[in-house]
Amino acid sequence: MQRMLTHMVIKMKKIEAIIKPGHLDGIRIALQEKGIIGMTVTEVQGRGQQKGISLQWRAGEYRVEFLEKLKLDLVVNDEDVEPAIAAIMSIAKTGKIGDGKIFIYPVEDVVRISTGERGKEAI
């Protein structure tokens, strides 16, 4: 019963950040400075409002419909959500188009496989 209560009270979120590949190292360090260590990095292709990008080349103009991005997935306690967003933005925000996007989702539960810990303890 105690355990079930703990799971219901402690809320966690998944932060999914689409970033420029060159920003990964800085973001990793900025997150680590706030004690946020665990994350998953995936190479992705994406497009935003600019629908990819238009490039001038000798042969003329051509469009790249999807750009290379990285996706960071971090699951954090609710109290770490704003610090994590601030850390990501401190590096990723240049103020120009294409800086990326951050999506936030509720997380039901986490299982640390090596120990069987659940919820906050498992992050």
- Residue closest to 40 by CA, chosen among 17, 62, 23: 17
How far apart are the C-alpha atoms of 8 and 73, rounded to whole Å? 22
- Residue closest to 88 by CA, chosen among 31, 42, 38: 31
The residue with its CB nearest to ligand ATP is 46
DSSP state of 96: S
| Residue closer to ligand ATP, measured from CB, 53 or 122 | 53
**Residue 1: CB minimum distance to ligand ATP, A:** 40
**Residue 48: CB minimum distance to Mg ion, A:** 3
Question: Do 92 and 14 contact (CB within 8 A), yes or no?
Answer: no
Residue 35's SS3 state is: coil
Query: Which amino acid appears at position 83 of this protein?
Result: P
Taking CB under 6 A as the criterion, the residue among 18, 31, 36, 123 binding ligand ATP is 18
| Residue closer to Mg ion, measured from CB, 2 or 49 | 49
26 binds ligand ATP (CB under 6 A): no
67 binds ligand ATP (CB under 6 A): yes
Interaction partner, residue 34 (Mg ion, ligand ATP, none; CB < 5-8 Å by kind)? none
Which residues of this protein are in contact with ligand ATP, per CB under 6 A? 18, 44, 46-50, 67, 69, 97-101
